[in-house]
A and B are shown apart, each in its own frame.
Chain A
Amino acid sequence: MLEIERFPLIARFFWRMGRGVADLGEISILVANVFKKIFTKPFEKKVFFAQLMEIGNRSLPVVSLTSLFTGMVLALQTIIGMKRFGGEMYVGSVVGISLTKELIPVLTGLMIAGRVGSAMAAEIGTMKVTEQIDALFTLGADPIKYLVVPRFLSAIIMVPILTAYGDAIGLIGGKFVSVQLMGINPVLFDEFLLLYTEWWDVTSGLIKSIFFGGIIAIIGCYKGLKTEGGAEGVGKSTTSAVVVSSILILIADFFIAKILPFSMKR
């Protein structure tokens, strides 16, 4: 192994840049492989349904809490702020647009990256260092097809569903605070929510979340498959999976918002 820490700063900088580019290349190959293998037999039903449960059902509590309190605090702060110029009755539209278009998709993505992406990296990483992935191959199972494809499919299905669910919970929280604590007329809340929140706002948020699901699964699996060096390696992969997928979610959020034509529609 090259002992890179002994080299000067500038060399280390370029070495890390090179590693980053190499990672990007390997991730692209993994993505291409996953897409190719989605359509080849056999389909790993058992793993797929287990992952649907893992990503979907078991994430409900964390998504519920995150969405509920985000909706509540957003409504609270919006009303406090908008009261300064007498616009507090518009809280329904502000909460509706902010939650469905940005906050819930991104926060759900980040929470799932923490909960599920880390678990994927840890599980696959442990399998890698204990030679279980080699064992899969020797028993006639393609590791990408058996491990990565079901996780990828489950994530791109479940993250949007959780986001839609989070949208609903967030709005309930927002309305609860607006009406019960801040004295906003419930009819006005609904009226402005429906008047200014368009379907595009909700849809663009859900489309983004499909990409977020893909990012979480691919990075989690990639980091797992690249794990080396026992327990310490598994720890590093897990941390790195969460950090990298969280950053990528935030970066992708901006670019998808910019690229999706209907997300720009007013």
Chain B
Amino acid sequence: MIRIIDLHKSFDGKKVLNGVNLEIVDGEIMVIMGGSGAGKTVLIKHIIGLLKPDRGKIFVDDIEITSLSEEKLFKVVRLFGMVFQGAALFDSMTVEENIRFGLERLGLPPDEIERRVKDSLERVGLPGIEKLMPSQLSGGMKKRVGLARAIALKPKILLYDEPTTGVDPIRADSINKLILKMKDSLGVTSVIITHDIVSAFKVADRIAMLHEGKIIEIGTPEQIKNSSNPIVQQFIKGESEGPVKII
């Protein structure tokens, strides 16, 4: 369970998060939707402890993470796996070395590491690419290797930063299926931030809409579709005319 309470964050005097309140229950897929610059990435980076808030609290399984010391934070981070927008694979390492990286730090025996590398690549549908370098992979493959690297650690919570951005609709759908598969087969809690409406409605158990640093609506995909909030409606219909003005 993740509880976010009154989270505030500013950069150079510009408010990015302006009192975010959100609860994510175990095992669900929570999609956080919002336009560009709404603060989605900043929010997800707070959940994993990459950023410290100006004000507010985040509880992960009843551990308040914003006030943890560095050493303790590294222990909590082990609960998470994160899939980055651009995959963030280490480009000086092979696919295998990328996946091994986190596993070696867990102090696992070599045969277990070997097994997990193979298993996680199979789970994302890319067996046998261990020796390739990230530069030899396509955008979609990179994202899947990023996912393999995250699930190899057997996290309780998976965070996805724009998992379908930058891949074609067919590959985006295969990523959606992977996200659902990870939930079903591993039972992980998933937090996905995206502005891809199709993907959001396909995978979400619940959707939260982030706008100007606040959660303005939260509910099941059905509830969001029928929301009376004009900002939500403008967003899901993808209209440039409406309460949100594009300058």
Contacts and interface: CB of A to CB of B under 8 A. Distances in A.
A138 to B, nearest CB: 4
A36 to B, nearest CB: 10
B86 A140 contact: no
Q: Is the interface of A mostly helix, strand, loop or mixed?
A: loop
Given A137-B50, A142-B70, A130 B77 contact: no
B131 interface: no
A2 interface: yes
Interface string B59-78: 00000000000100010011
B102 interface: yes
B45 interface: yes
A139 B84 CA distance: 12
Name the interface size band of chain A: 10 to 19
A126 to B, nearest CB: 8
A142 B77 CA distance: 11
B238 interface: no
Contact of A140 (B12, B78, B84, B88): B78
B12 A134 contact: no
Interface in A123-170: 127, 130-132, 134-135, 137-142
Contacts of A131: 84-86, 88
Contacts of B78: 140
B74 A142 contact: yes
Interface residues of B, number: 28
A2 B13 contact: yes
A213 B16 CA distance: 39
Contacts of B12: 1-2
A135 B77 contact: no
Contact of A138 (B82, B85, B89): B82
Contacts of A134: 45, 50, 82, 84, 88
A141 B88 contact: no
B84 A137 contact: no
A142 B80 CA distance: 15
Given A2-B13, A140-B77, A140-B105, A130 B70 contact: no
Interface of B: 12-14, 45, 48-50, 70, 74, 77-78, 80-82, 84-86, 88-91, 101-102, 105-106, 149-150, 153
Interface of A: 1-2, 42, 127, 130-132, 134-135, 137-142
Across the A-B interface, the 5 shortest Cβ-Cβ residue pairs: A139-B102, A135-B88, A131-B88, A140-B105, A138-B82
18 contacts: A2-B12, A130-B91, A131-B84, A131-B88, A132-B88, A132-B89, A132-B90, A134-B82, A138-B82, A138-B150, A139-B102, A139-B149, A140-B77, A140-B153, A141-B102, A141-B105, A142-B70, A142-B74
